[in-house]
Structure 1
Amino acid sequence: MIEIITAPFEYGFMVHALAAAVIASTVCGLLSAWLVLMGWSLMGEAIAHSVLPGVVLAYIFGAPMALGALIFGLLAVLIIGGLNRSTVLKRDTTLGVVFTTLFALGLVLISRTPSQTHLQHILFGNVLGTSLSTLVQIAVLAAVTATVLLVKRRDFTLLAFDRTHAHTIGLPVGVLSAVLLVLLAITTVTALQTLGVILVVAMLIIPGAAGFLVARTFGLMLTVSALVGGLAAVLGVYASWWLDVSTGGAIVLSASALFALAYLGGPHRGVVPRLLRRRRASSHPVSV
């Protein structure tokens, strides 16, 4: 048992991989709670896919990939907001138009770029290739996101539960929404190299969904979401080491397994506890 736990840490790249995966997945889980509560899950998918051309262009011009991803993530937010204000299209339609267009642009750029193998890591992640400088970058971006989320937690929570009331008491609803979108773009960049563009969407949704099924208060939901993200990263990295499978895929499958546990055994919304409560209620009918 001790060897199972310690063996991966004989290699420096595994230490970097585990640290990067835990940091990125935990901050994804933290933000996931708000995305699920506000019904912004599709927005997370849109931003995650929209950063692809920015990453490819940054690679072509020798700039930091995180910078290119962040620029295109924010650009996607601006385009989506502009379309929502200037057309009668519904929000999900504008999201679909923007993120599919930008994702397709990224795929075209990849097909015209010589070093396709390296860029494939952006699609599917390359956590085992995390360098020390990349780990520091991930830690800094995650710290910024987590700090803003926790400092403005009350305002963001009120915005999620009752946008009208938040506006009535004088909160800058538009600014808060914009800040959340920026944090979403930063979080996507944080998790990009760990999970890749495709799998990061899962970690922006699954932890929050699991937290929602388990918790009855938002504070507990926030805690559970972050824990699901971090625990999924640990389980996924170990599974990838011992089973020789994709690390990003193993992390997402671990998160899915934790979601399944929440779905089945969540104390308030889980399937099994609800069935047991119904059985107890039917076995003790109320006499009139």
Structure 2
Amino acid sequence: MSTLLEPFTYGYMTNAMWVSALVGGVCAFLSSYLMLKGWSLIGDALSHSVVPGVAGAYILGLPFALGAFISGGLAAAAMLFLSDRSGLKVDAIIGIIFTSFFGLGLFMASVNPMAVSIQTITMGNILAITPEDTLQLALIGFVSLAILLLKWKDLMVVFFDESHARSIGLRPGLLKAVFFMLLSACVVAAMQTVGAFLVIAMVVTPGATAYLLCDRFSRLILTSVAIGTITSFVGAYVSYFLDGATGGIIVVLQTLIFLCVFVWSPKHGLLAARRKAAQALQTEVAQ
């Protein structure tokens, strides 16, 4: 028993577990809306778009998180602008923004070699965060969570039907801008947890898993947040015993849960679909 409780005796492990759980929960909250709108790859684009911000922050002597947030915000604003004005499909816009920002970041990093390891940016290192980083991540998480809890219904209406949202007095443009600001902030937070390459899992997998389990959006949000929070906490906890990358373990746990749900979900799982197909075939034969 004492061995199982050992991670809680170390301050850095306690911080890692609770901060991972908070960041995982907020990212999962946002993933519900990305699934609803079909914008899953936007999280991937934003996670790679923070690289020039990190490089620019190093050049200017600013905090890396600030540079990453500004860069992610600019990428999100560019995606919104192009989607509203260009008439291009979302996947094309994501591809343009993703490659442009990531290419710029690699160029800046090559001409101004950074003291911070590229591996730290791409893979994350939640176990090595400082008390200042912990406070920053907690602040991002709690502020984002508070705004989402306050505006979740308005965001739901906007993501379902923008025309209806306008007819009842909501401002879709402003609400989408707020959503992308929160997404950018949480991508920056998750980048320190699982790294830029695995952020996409944090903002897609919980929502995708909950989508297979729930038919009502409110339940989808609760289920998604529960999955994101628990897997992030358990992943950080298990990483102590496995001596492995915390971000990788968190993503593996979320993927395993998704695969189990994909197969055994009562309504939308693979086995349920086969059962329905067999019943339909039997009905046709009986007729």
TM-score, with length taken from structure 2: 0.91
Equivalent residue number for residue 185 of structure 2? 186
Contact 2:22 2:229 in 1 (8 A): yes
Equivalent residue number for residue 156 of structure 2? 157
Equivalent residue number for residue 212 of structure 1? 211
Equivalent residue number for residue 82 of structure 2? 83
Residue identity opposite 1:141 in structure 2: I
Provide structure 2 residue ranges, at least 5 long, that are not aligned to the other structure: none
Equivalent residue number for residue 129 of structure 1? 128
**CA RMSD across the alignment:** 2.2
Equivalent residue number for residue 22 of structure 2? 23
Which stretch shows the higher mean deviation, 39-48 or 220-229? Answer: 39-48
Give CA deviations for 1:139-181 in whole Å, capped at 9, x if unaligned. 1111111111111111111112222221222221111111111
Residue identity opposite 2:167 in structure 1: T
Matches within 5 A, 1:71-150: 71-116=70-115, 118-150=117-149
Residue identity opposite 1:236 in structure 2: G
How far apart are the structure 2 equivalents of 1:273 and 1:86? 42
- The offset of 1:258, in angstroms, is 1.1
CA distance 1:194–1:283, change in 2 (3 Å): same
CA distance 1:4–1:261, change in 2 (3 Å): farther
How far apart are the structure 1 equivalents of 2:286 and 2:139? 62
- The offset of 1:113, in angstroms, is 4.1
CA distance 1:128–1:172, change in 2 (3 Å): same
Contact 1:80 1:94 in 2 (8 A): yes
CA distance 1:269–1:11, change in 2 (3 Å): same
How far apart are the structure 1 equivalents of 2:172 and 2:218? 21
Size of the aligned set, in residue pairs, is 287
- The offset of 1:92, in angstroms, is 2.0
How far apart are the structure 2 equivalents of 1:149 and 1:91? 24
SS in 2 for 1:197: coil
Which stretch shows the higher mean deviation, 6-15 or 249-258? Answer: 6-15
CA distance 1:39–1:284, change in 2 (3 Å): closer
Equivalent residue number for residue 247 of structure 2? 248
Matches within 5 A, 1:208-287: 208-279=207-278
Give CA deviations for 1:108-142 in whole Å, capped at 9, x if unaligned. 33334444553421111011102222111111111
Equivalent residue number for residue 177 of structure 1? 176
How far apart are the structure 2 equivalents of 1:69 and 1:259? 29
Give CA deviations for 1:6-28 in whole Å, capped at 9, x if unaligned. 12223221111112211111111
Which stretch shows the higher mean deviation, 21-30 or 103-112? Answer: 103-112
Identity of aligned residues (%): 37
Contact 1:110 1:116 in 2 (8 A): no
- The offset of 1:199, in angstroms, is 0.7
SS in 2 for 1:152: helix
SS in 1 for 2:196: helix
Which stretch shows the higher mean deviation, 174-183 or 272-281? Answer: 272-281
CA distance 1:217–1:87, change in 2 (3 Å): closer
Equivalent residue number for residue 38 of structure 2? 39
